Amino acid sequence: MAKTHTAQAQSGLAHISGDFELFADALPLLVWVSDADGKYEYGNSHWFHYLDISKEKNTRQQWSNSIHTADREKVTQLWNHSVLTGEPFETEYRFLNGKTGEYRWFLARAKASRNNKGKVTKWFGSLTDIHEQKNILDSQTFLAEASKILSSSLNYVETLNQITSVAVPHIADWCSVELLESGQLIQISVAHKDPDKVQWAKKLSKKRVIDMSSEIGMPQVIRTGKSIFYPIVTNEMIEKAAKNKTELKLIKSLGFSSAMIVPITIEGKTIGVIQFVTTESKKRFDQFNLYTAEELGRRAALAIQNAQLYENAQRKEKQFRALYESNIIGVLYTNLEGQVSDANEAFLQMIGYTKEDLEAGRIRWDRLTPAEYQTESKQALREILSEGAVTPWEKEYIKKDGSQVPVIIGSVLLNKNTNQILTFVLDITERKKLEQRKDEFISIASHELKTPLTSIKGYVQILERIVQQMGDEKLNSYIQKTNTYIDRLNSLIVDLLDVSKIQSGKLSLDVSSFKVQALLDEVLEGVQQTNSSYNIIQPSHTDTMIQGDKHRLEQVFTNLLTNAIKYSPRNKKIILSVEKLENDIQVSVQDFGIGISKKEQSKVFDRFYRSDSVAKRFSGLGIGLYISYEIVERHGGKMWVESVAGKGSTFFFSLPIKQKALS
Ligand code: ADP
């Protein structure tokens, strides 16, 4: 009982029963009792503990001083009203913790007790700590508001600016966003309730260069992607953070109370930070505030990412628009049904149709393709559907007036569900004309060269006979050398003439039956004679008779063997194989020379193609393989190459044993 008496004495409520005091102490509330005018008569242990004052100091003035200045006027007015009218008192306010110096939110309630005449005799009051609930509610409201702002515009600098203004004073006294730009943190936005302070902070941030290698603060958050949380900012922390005395003075003058820095992370990369600092409000951030701040960081990251994606899409759209609207390249959208749903002016001009034709559905891409390109077109379509795109290829389109225009086209599948295809078309009429002029030139030039060369050869033959009669060895050797050069020149001219023949579709075959082995042996002997240092191996033989143009096939064998020799200057082994398959004969020439890169393998059969690596080291015109390929194809056969750069190449060709026309 002695204890109760002491408590009663301390609280100054001697006539209230000990049971009430025990009950009041058991409540998780600050409880007080006052007389009719509000003069305190009792406070429970929580009351004194929270305020950290003695009984003597427990006055209305002390109470009023402990209320946050922002709430003080509202609360005083309400209390005065209650004292005057005897009406219950109820409100929320921030109340200072005398021990920690922190303000916490309380729900304050008081009710009057009256005597039998109805006159107020006492006030019974309580304060419930609602700080956490208030925090949750506050942060939910804040996050909802922030999300609304972030999704309101795709200009993220503008939205981040608004975010910091909402954070102040909801969450903190200061809030700023800094984003990484070329390795440096740049302040995007800063907010404080005092506009002068904002101006000051902006100026300061412009002058300040942040040491990105620093182990603390924003650079640390950027590096680790993890938040930094200082519920209480101590003097030691400030001293560690300040770069010099001026900065130290400045930070101290701001009176930092609590701080947190959270990351803005996009796809695992931290691109910026949001800082929250409390100063004059003396608010201490707690775990919940940190959670809210981190959530804001995540939402800001999402908003920035969305804005960037949108910006990228816009830029690409703009670039594509520029291309679409220029008359550089034809662009059209089609579907599998053959409909051209849209096309640009360049394409319409190319095929001689109008916008009205397009809108009336009169342009169908399947009808634009001439019969000779239908098979290739279908193959390209299959490739688009299976691979999503087709490598550019040459074809022709039928124009509205019935004439044809040569083009290069490339297509991509835009949408798998709707099968929408985007096609780019380049008009190559000019290039084709140029190629035609080149072909004509080669044809005329080789004919013009051939005639005098035939005369030279005739005169040299006459000279040869005379010299032989004279028996002059030296002169004879000169004549032989001249003959060799004439032969070489002749074969070059013959090759060029062949190219012209192929181009104009005039390469004819003189087909007969012969033993393929005999032809191979003959060619091999000739090649081996002039290249005695090479070891040409023939592991297999065949006695198959084939039907074909003996002279043309000799050209193919010779070309493959001389290439194998020419492009193997070091490793002098060559394997010539022949194999009889069911209906075909397959020949291969394998060398261990310079080889051909994967990229170039598909091009070596093209007219005038020479790989970059050989052009400077080996002489040639790049037409031997082109002619060989055409000859084999004219026979109904196939030609291909397998090669590894630096290791060697194997050229293959297969020929049907019997020619269709003759069988
Ligand atoms: P040329 O030999 O006159 O250049 P070809 O049409 O015979 O013309 O060959 C075309 C190109 O193919 C050559 O320039 C060379 O780059 C490549 N090539 C042909 N045969 C071989 C080979 N056996 N090894 C390596 N590269 C070859």
User: Quick one: pLDDT at residue 658?
Assistant: 86
Closest atom, ligand 1, to C-alpha of 620? 3
User: Quick one: pLDDT at residue 14?
Assistant: 55
Tell how far the Cα of 512 is from the centroid of ligand 1, in angstroms. 29
Q: How far apart are CA 256 and CA 270, in angstroms?
A: 26
Mean pLDDT of the 597-620 span: 90
Mean pLDDT of the 135-160 span: 86
User: Quick one: pLDDT at residue 83?
Assistant: 92
Q: How far apart are CA 625 and CA 281, in angstroms?
A: 86
Q: How far apart are CA 262 and CA 221, in angstroms?
A: 7
Mean pLDDT of the 234-258 span: 82
Q: Are 294 and 171 in contact (CB under 8 A)?
A: no
Taking CA atoms only, the protein residue closest to ligand 1 atom 25 is 595
Tell how far the Cα of 647 is from the centroid of ligand 1, in angstroms. 15
Helices 550-566 and 624-634 cross at an angle (nearest 10°) of 140
Q: Are 164 and 156 in contact (CB under 8 A)?
A: no
Q: Please give the share of the chain, as a percent, with pLDDT higher than 90.
A: 65
Q: Does the pTM exceed 0.85?
A: no
Spell out the residues 6+ positions from residue 305 whose beta carbon is closer than 8 angstroms to its own: 266, 267
Reported confidence tier of residue 17, pLDDT bands at 50, 70, 90: low
Cα angle for residues 76, 77, 79 (degrees, 5° grid): 65
Q: Give the residue, out of 534, 563, 576, 626, with the most ligand 1 atoms within 8 A of its beta carbon, to mutate for a pocket test.
A: 563
pLDDT of 1 strictly over 50: no
> Phi-psi category of 183—alpha, beta or left, where left has phi over 0 and alpha has psi -120 to 50?
left
pLDDT of 12 strictly over 60: no
User: Quick one: pLDDT at residue 73?
Assistant: 96
Q: Please give the share of the chain, as a percent, with pLDDT higher than 70.
A: 97
User: Quick one: pLDDT at residue 15?
Assistant: 57
Tell how far the Cα of 604 is from the centroid of ligand 1, in angstroms. 7
User: Quick one: pLDDT at residue 662?
Assistant: 52
Q: Which of 123, 94, 124 is nearest to 106 (CA)?
A: 94
* Structure token digits, residue 508: 């004819």
pLDDT of 16 strictly over 70: no
Range in 148-152, 315-319, 595-599 the model is least confident about: 148-152
User: Quick one: pLDDT at residue 432?
Assistant: 92
Tell how far the Cα of 609 is from the centroid of ligand 1, in angstroms. 8
User: Quick one: pLDDT at residue 138?
Assistant: 83
Q: Residue 565 has what DSSP assignment?
A: H
Instruction: Work out the burial of residue 94: count CB atoms within 10 Å of its CB; fewer than 13 is exposed, 13-18 middle, 19 or more buried.
Output: buried
**In Å, what is the CA distance from 646 to each residue of 168, 494, 572, 598, 602?**
69, 32, 14, 11, 17
Reported confidence tier of residue 369, pLDDT bands at 50, 70, 90: very high
Q: Which of 526, 503, 498 is nearest to 628 (CA)?
A: 498
| pLDDT tens-digit readout, 328-337 | 899 999 988 8
Tell how far the Cα of 563 is from the centroid of ligand 1, in angstroms. 6
Tell how far the Cα of 614 is from the centroid of ligand 1, in angstroms. 8
Tokens 């598909």 correspond to 602
| pLDDT tens-digit readout, 277-295 | 998 877 888 888 999 999 9
Lining residues, ligand 1, CB within 6 Å: 559, 563-564, 567, 591, 593-596, 604, 609-611, 614, 620-626, 649
User: Quick one: pLDDT at residue 7?
Assistant: 45
| Rg of the chain in Å (alpha carbons) | 48
Q: Are 635 and 656 in contact (CB under 8 A)?
A: yes
Reply yes or no: is the peptide bond before residue 452 cis, omega within 30 of 0.
no
**In Å, what is the CA distance from 436 to each residue of 199, 430, 500, 501?**
72, 10, 10, 13
Reported confidence tier of residue 661, pLDDT bands at 50, 70, 90: low
How many residues comprise the chain?
Answer: 663
Mean pLDDT of the 403-421 span: 91
Q: Which of 335, 406, 343, 336 is nearest to 369 (CA)?
A: 406
Q: Give the residue, out of 625, 631, 647, with the most ligand 1 atoms within 8 A of its beta carbon, to mutate for a pocket test.
A: 625
Reported confidence tier of residue 8, pLDDT bands at 50, 70, 90: very low
pLDDT of 392 strictly over 70: yes
Tokens 């759209």 correspond to 317
Closest atom, ligand 1, to C-alpha of 559? 7
User: Quick one: pLDDT at residue 213?
Assistant: 84
Per residue in 295-333, is it b (16+ CB within 10 Å) or e — as a string?
Answer: bbbebbbebbbebeeeeeeeeeeeeeeeebeeeebbbbe
Closest atom, ligand 1, to C-alpha of 567? 24
Alpha helices by DSSP H, 531-653: 550-566, 598-601, 612-615, 624-634
Taking CA atoms only, the protein residue closest to ligand 1 atom 13 is 610
Mean pLDDT of the 442-466 span: 92
* Structure token digits, residue 385: 């559907």
Taking CA atoms only, the protein residue closest to ligand 1 atom 12 is 604
Q: Which of 45, 61, 126 is nearest to 90 (CA)?
A: 126
Tell how far the Cα of 592 is from the centroid of ligand 1, in angstroms. 14
Q: Which of 35, 11, 36, 34 is nearest to 22 (CA)?
A: 11
Q: Residue 99 has what DSSP assignment?
A: T
| pLDDT tens-digit readout, 566-589 | 999 999 999 999 999 999 999 999
Report the run of H or E that residue 398 belongs to, with start and end.
Answer: strand 389-398
Tell how far the Cα of 633 is from the centroid of ligand 1, in angstroms. 19
Taking CA atoms only, the protein residue closest to ligand 1 atom 20 is 563
pLDDT of 4 strictly over 60: no
Closest atom, ligand 1, to C-alpha of 614? 16
Taking CA atoms only, the protein residue closest to ligand 1 atom 21 is 563
Tell how far the Cα of 610 is from the centroid of ligand 1, in angstroms. 6
Tell how far the Cα of 475 is from the centroid of ligand 1, in angstroms. 36
| pLDDT tens-digit readout, 79-137 | 999 999 999 999 999 999 999 888 899 999 999 999 999 899 999 999 999 998 988 88
Taking CA atoms only, the protein residue closest to ligand 1 atom 3 is 620
Residue type, 446: S
Instruction: Work out the burial of residue 563: count CB atoms within 10 Å of its CB; fewer than 13 is exposed, 13-18 middle, 19 or more buried.
Output: buried
User: Quick one: pLDDT at residue 79?
Assistant: 95
* Structure token digits, residue 546: 């084939």
Q: How far apart are CA 236 and CA 343, in angstroms?
A: 70
User: Quick one: pLDDT at residue 18?
Assistant: 66
User: Quick one: pLDDT at residue 416?
Assistant: 82
Tokens 């209390």 correspond to 79
Reported confidence tier of residue 212, pLDDT bands at 50, 70, 90: confident
Tell how far the Cα of 622 is from the centroid of ligand 1, in angstroms. 7
pLDDT of 600 strictly over 60: yes
Q: How far apart are CA 94 and CA 71, in angstroms?
A: 7
Q: Are 358 and 340 in contact (CB under 8 A)?
A: yes
Closest atom, ligand 1, to C-alpha of 627? 6
Considering the chain, what is the average pLDDT of its residues?
A: 90
Tokens 């003189």 correspond to 510
**In Å, what is the CA distance from 310 to each residue of 7, 107, 296, 315?**
69, 47, 21, 9
Strand duo 258-266 + 573-580: pairing: unpaired
pLDDT of 184 strictly over 80: yes
User: Quick one: pLDDT at residue 13?
Assistant: 54
| pLDDT tens-digit readout, 516-563 | 999 999 999 999 998 999 999 999 899 999 999 999 999 999 999 999
